[in-house]
Amino acid sequence: MVKVAVNISKLILGVLGSVTLLFFIYGGFVWITAAGNTQRIEQGKKVFESALVGLIIVLSSWLIIYFITAALTGTPVGEQVKLFNGGGEPFQLPPER
């Protein structure tokens, strides 16, 4: 059950990242094709700002949930939080040379 929740959260974060990228592309397109029209330039800037605010909200909510679950399970920050002995292998950094 925990793996399902982890997979769903990964899917949601991936989809939201893709949607954010599409909004950045759309905002850039509106801005580039404005041809000096100040209303279109402002519209493009607003799309950029909204996409950035949305991305910050999504990442902040993920971070808050991570810290809460780490605190409730007693997991040191930086390690993978395992609930009910679930989860897989934590992400490992390559050894330093």
In a domain, 82, yes or no: no
C-alpha–C-alpha distance, residues 61 and 65, integer Å: 6
In a domain, 96, yes or no: no
- Here the contacts of 46-53 (C-beta below 8 Å, separation 24 or greater) are 47/23, 48/24, 50/23, 51/20, 51/23, 51/24, 51/27
Report pLDDT digits (tens) over 82-93: 655 555 555 455
C-alpha distance across the termini of the chain, in Å:
39
In a domain, 37, yes or no: yes
In a domain, 60, yes or no: yes
Q: What is the pTM assigned to this prediction?
A: 0.64
Total number of domains in the chain: 1
In a domain, 35, yes or no: yes
In a domain, 49, yes or no: yes
In a domain, 25, yes or no: yes
In a domain, 14, yes or no: yes
Q: Work out the percent of the chain whose per-residue pLDDT is above 70.
A: 71
Confidence of residue 78 (pLDDT cuts 50, 70, 90): low
> Which residue range(s) make up the domain with 6?
2-73
Report pLDDT digits (tens) over 28-63: 999 999 998 999 999 999 999 999 998 898 888 888
Sign for the pseudo-dihedral over CA of 68, 69, 70, 71: positive
Provide the pLDDT for residue 85: 53
Report the chain's mean pLDDT, rounded to a whole number: 80
Provide the pLDDT for residue 68: 79
Provide the pLDDT for residue 45: 94
